């Protein structure tokens, strides 16, 4: 499971980075919704890492200074790899959601949720970008696997 999570988080990091680069290059044409979604995607990753490590969480919909978004993405990735390597994925953590409700989940389930959540929002960004007449990048997992296996 650890190897697969490492692989999935490399994919996640790669396409978060590619989207940040793409949005930066096209910043003047990018719809506000896309910027809001990439911030949310990055923030949610930080929130889940913070819950696992019992640290201070970002606001899930906070707007980050755009020049810092890549740095936050890098920190999220490094933190998640550290979690994968240093914690038992079967460990259950207790946390509160943004509404103050208490829940418990296994670390491995939370990590899978981060991947799934990120993929969902990257697809929303692609749709938003395409609706504005800009060709989005292809972030399909199988496309990524073909490229790295060449």
Quickly list H helices, the chain.
2-25, 32-53, 69-86, 107-131, 141-149
141: buried, middle or exposed (CB in 10 Å: 19+, 13-18, 0-12)? middle
Per-residue pLDDT at 58: 97
In this predicted structure, the answer to whether residue 150 has a pLDDT above a threshold of 80 is: no
How much is the average pLDDT of 88-92?
98
In this predicted structure, the answer to whether residue 57 has a pLDDT above a threshold of 80 is: yes
Per-residue pLDDT at 139: 94
* Closest CA relative to residue 38, chosen from 111, 105, 117: 117
pLDDT band at residue 98 using 50, 70 and 90 as cut-offs: confident
Residues of the chain with pLDDT > 90, as a percent, come to 94
pLDDT band at residue 148 using 50, 70 and 90 as cut-offs: confident
In this predicted structure, the answer to whether residue 131 has a pLDDT above a threshold of 80 is: yes
- 8 A C-beta contact, residue 90 and residue 46: no
Per-residue pLDDT at 1: 87
pLDDT band at residue 81 using 50, 70 and 90 as cut-offs: very high
In this predicted structure, the answer to whether residue 25 has a pLDDT above a threshold of 90 is: yes
> With a threshold of 0.85, does the pTM exceed it?
yes
């Amino acid at each position: 499971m650890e190897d697969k999570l490492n692989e999935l988080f490399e994919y996640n990091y790669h396409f978060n980075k590619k989207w940040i680069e793409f949005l930066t290059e096209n910043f003047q044409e990018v719809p506000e919704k896309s910027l809001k979604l990439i911030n949310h995607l990055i923030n949610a990753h930080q929130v889940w890492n913070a819950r696992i490590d019992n640290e201070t969480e970002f606001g899930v919909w906070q707007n980050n200074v755009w020049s810092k978004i890549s740095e936050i993405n890098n920190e999220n990735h490094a933190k998640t790899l550290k979690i994968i390597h240093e914690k038992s994925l079967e460990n259950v953590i207790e946390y509160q959601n943004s509404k103050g409700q208490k829940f418990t989940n296994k670390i491995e389930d939370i990590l899978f949720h981060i991947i799934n959540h990120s993929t969902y929002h990257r697809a929303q960004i692609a749709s938003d970008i395409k609706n504005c007449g800009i060709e989005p990048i292809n972030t399909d997992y199988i496309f990524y696997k073909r490229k790295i296996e060449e």
